[in-house]
Amino acid sequence: MPKTARKSAKKKTVPTKSTGRSKKATASPAGHPPAPQPLVNQQPQSKQQAALAAGVFLQTTDAWSEAYWDPTDLHVLERELFG
């Protein structure tokens, strides 16, 4: 039987994409490096201001806890099992 020669498979290469733009650092007019941007524009002066800005509000009543004391609600069972 004749031996068959195996051909080696060529590796496929993916061409890199070129956008045509080069990233060059631009210096400020006076030759100074640009000032770094702050991570936060301004720190809130109080927690209430921060909550208002973020839209986070806590309930001011105890209405959320009433379900844990209502005997017809399953929250009572959770309270008794895990409490």
Residue 35 lies in a domain: no
The pLDDT > 70 percentage for the chain reads 63
> What local confidence, expressed as pLDDT, does residue 43 receive?
74
Residue 76 lies in a domain: yes
Q: Is residue 77 part of a domain?
A: yes
In this predicted structure, what is the pLDDT of residue 37? Answer: 73
User: Does the pLDDT of residue 55 top 70, yes or no?
Assistant: yes
- Over residues 18-48, the pLDDT tens digits come to 666 655 555 556 677 787 776 666 777 888 8
How far is residue 72's CA from residue 57's CA, in Å, rounded to a whole number? Answer: 29
Domains in the chain, number: 1
Quick check: is 70 in a domain?
yes
